[in-house]
Structure 1
Amino acid sequence: MVPTEAHTLDWNSDEGSGFVSIHGRDIFVSVRGPPRRPGQPVVICEAGRGCTSYIWSAVQLQAGKFVRIFAYDRAGMGRSQPGPSPRKAAVAAQDLSDLLDSANISGPYVLVCHSYGGILAREFLHIRNDDVAGIIFVDTITERYSSDEPLPMAEFGAVLGNLDFWEISGLAKRQSLSPVDWELSLKMWPRDRETFAAEAGAVTISEQELAGKNQFDGQVMGNRPLVVIKGNATQEFLAVLNAGEAAGNGTASQRAILREYTKTSEATRERHQREQLKLSTNSRYVVAQHGYHSVQVSEPELVVAEIETMLRRLESIGTA
């Protein structure tokens, strides 16, 4: 979408994109879908680390046929201006809350989050619990990630070398974005590395802060609907390992460390993701057919179907 001046958009009825100012910073927002009826849930998409709102464009395009759906670039990502440091999840969640208030986009919200976005969504749940009608976790990480079995990034980077991750993983062929959106999402990455690094540097403290809220024990969502969509990041790591080994990238020790990681990583990720089901008594677990970590890119129709199903569930209990 071509950005429009923010003041020309009614975020509850118009379609398009523009900027919303929070604390003197311009944050990029895009929206699709029919005009909102009073009390009707809206969908808010939260991307993972290193990703912009483009990553949701296929989901927005399809889901926008039946629901109002928003995506945005976090501070310092894509077209949004930088925010203060440290870039902790709690800070980003407060930014989202302020953004929605500034744009006059009230709840109820259905949160759809990917990867690290799952931690941000749960911090948002902490500060706006009453406004969250449901959550869809798309291959998300949790507060257990860094302390349990994190990806060995140094070894992964060495084995990848100068190879094209998107081509090697197969996602470039499988992805369902428009050619323009896919190209733009790739072009954003080099300029977003500083923010990616800032968020990466704050992951551990973000996980510790979230863990301290004991959301699993408290079952903080009650009986509100929750869905966990499980992808498969390990198949991408294995593809990198095999291609990197063939290219002679990394040392034998680095390749061995990465290979050892792939033997148990997906079981660990599944255990983490299933634990999120404890947040609600009304939860379900779905496995993506084609794997991949970015399910919203490889299988947007699955994410859209889960959005539609959740809206029907909300309507049945009088929330939609």
Structure 2
Amino acid sequence: MPTRDGRRLYAQVLPGPDPDNPAAVVFEGGAGSTRSYWAAVQVLVAPVARAVVYDRAGLGRSEPDPVARTVARMTDDLVDLLDHFSPGPIILVGHSGGGPVVRLAASRRPQLVAGLVLVDPIDEAADVVFSAQFRRNEKVALRVGKVLARLGLLRFLYGSLLAAAPADDVRDDLRREAFAPSVIQTQARQARSYLDEVEAFKTAPPDTGDIPVTTVISGALALARDGMPEEVRAQANAAHAHRAAQSPHGRHVVAQHSGHTIPVTEPQVIADEIIRLVRADQRFGAR
């Protein structure tokens, strides 16, 4: 898929029950997630709607971006993808750091977006993620990740991701693409301004109007299971409940058996919320 400045992004599409229907579900991953991270959710959604996963610039099979990887720039790429699949309607699904990106994209293309599903998203209402300690922890994690990726050891931290892959081709793609040094490089470039940009949403949030919003996770588990301390988890979940309440059709759903990695640990929870929105919109033609 071409971007407005001539780069190319790589997407994979499951056509859904009606290949002629332009409606689609589009997935946006977290900071270092390739398209393969969504595989288990994508195959659950495909029986009711076209399902589109893609690699953000610098990840997977997408070309790197020579320009700073700001939230605004990442949103430009997602908007280009939405325009590529216009006239819609489109349900946008964003996990973790992809949450603010899909919210901003929806504010730019409200006529295309039929609904948002935010999966354990970074949210400006959780002050703890903008603290000095959180920022220090992020820098340490990037430095450690850089060393492990260079040594070829990064994949051993994510054995559960590989084990949960729904097919051998997904597992092979993850091994080739998800743990390379370029992934950490892209994460580091995104991290330079990401938290500052999202914190600015406190005074100037994306206007998503009446677009239905479902905050799917809130994971229920904390530190021992996914590396998120209790304080961060508590504030994140409170922020998710607040975000859902801002929508006239908002829902706050908790994945009881998951921490942060819900697309891997409880893909059905996410798929159920997507399918609910699909069936509520007659333009998808789902039963």
Normalising by the smaller structure, the TM-score range is 0.7 to 0.9
- Is residue 197 of structure 2 the alignment partner of residue 194 of structure 1? no
Instruction: Number of aligned residue pairs: give it.
Output: 274
The CA deviation at 1:115 is 0.3
Code of the residue aligned with 2:6 in structure 1: it is G
Tell me the distance in 2 between the aligned counterparts of 1:81 and 1:311.
31
Q: What is the alpha-carbon distance in structure 2 between the residues aligned to residue 88 and residue 309 of structure 1?
A: 32
Matching residue of 1:265: 232
Q: Is the 8 A contact 2:98 2:121 kept in 1?
A: yes
Q: CA deviation at 1:185?
A: 2.0
**CA deviation vs aligned residue, 1:141-173 (integer Å, no higher than 9, x gap):** 1124532573723566799997x7876788348
Q: Distance in 1 between matches of 2:81 and 2:118?
A: 21
The answer to whether the Cα contact below 8 Å between 1:230 and 1:286 also exists between their aligned partners in 2 is yes
CA–CA separation in structure 1 for the residues paired with 2:63 and 2:255: 34
Name 2:212's counterpart in structure 1.
Answer: 225
Q: Which moved more, 1:46-55 or 1:304-313?
A: 304-313
Residue type at the aligned position of 1:76: G
Query: What does residue 139 of structure 1 align with?
Result: 120
User: What SS does the corresponding residue of 2:78 show, helix, strand or coil?
Assistant: helix
1:171 — aligned with what?
160
Please name the residue that 2:243 is paired with.
276
Q: 2-side partners of 1:46 and 1:27: how far apart? A: 13
Alignment match, 1:244: none
Report the Cα distance in structure 1 between the residues aligned to 2:243 and 2:192, rounded to whole angstroms: 24
| Cα distance between partner residues in 1 of 2:243 and 2:107 | 14
**One of 220, 224, 245 as aligned partner of 1:238:** 224
Displacement after TM superposition at 1:104 (Å): 4.5
Q: Which of 285, 297, 301 in structure 1 is aligned with 2:268? A: 301
Q: Pairwise CA RMSD of aligned residues?
A: 3.1
Give the alignment partner of residue 194 of structure 2, picking from 203, 213, 220.
Answer: 203
1:76-225 to 2 correspondence within 5 Å?
76-101=58-83, 103-145=84-126, 146-148=129-131, 150=134, 152-153=137-138, 171-172=160-161, 175-188=164-177, 189-190=179-180, 191-215=182-206, 220-222=208-210, 224-225=211-212
Distance, in Å, in 2 between the alignment partners of 1:174 and 1:287 is: 23
Q: What is the one-letter code of the residue matched to 2:247?
A: S
State whether structure 2 residue 53 is matched by structure 1 residue 71: yes
Deviation, 1:210, is: 3.1
The whole-number CA distance in structure 1 between the counterparts of 2:33 and 2:236 is 20
Provide the C-alpha distance between the structure 2 equivalents of 1:63 and 1:96, rounded to a whole number of angstroms: 20
**Contact map agreement 2:119 2:217 (CA 8 A) in 1:** yes
TM-score, with structure 2 as normaliser: 0.82
The share of aligned pairs that are identical, in percent, is 26
Any unmatched runs of 5+ in structure 2? none
Indicate how the Cα distance of structure 1 residues 147 and 153 shifts in structure 2: closer, same or farther if over 3 A, else same: closer
Inter-partner Cα distance in structure 2 for 1:116 and 1:233: 18
CA distance, structure 1, for counterparts of residue 55 and residue 267 of structure 2:
19
Give the ranges of 4+ consecutive aligned residues of structure 1 lying more than 4 Å apart after TM superposition.
154-162, 164-170
Q: 1:274 to 1:171 in 2, by over 3 A?
A: farther
Separation of aligned partners in 2, 1:240 and 1:96: 28
1:173 and 1:73 map into 2 onto residues whose CA distance is: 18
2:252 matched to which residue of 1? 285
Q: How far apart are residue 106 of structure 1 and its match?
A: 2.3
Instruction: Name the counterpart of 1:9.
Output: none
TM-score (norm 1): 0.74
CA contact (8 A) 2:215 2:240 kept: yes
Distance 1:213 1:41, change over 3 A: farther
| Change beyond 3 A, Cα 1:213–1:27 | same
The offset of 1:54, in angstroms, is 0.6
Q: Which of 51, 56, 63 is residue 33 of structure 2 equivalent to?
A: 51
Instruction: Please tell me whether the aligned partners of residues 177 and 297 of structure 1 are also in contact (alpha carbons under 8 angstroms).
Output: no
Deviation of 1:46 (Å): 0.4
Give the 3-state SS of the residue equivalent to 1:44 in structure 2.
strand
**Aligned twin of 1:249:** none
Q: Say whether the 8 Å CA contact 1:234–1:262 is kept in structure 2.
A: no
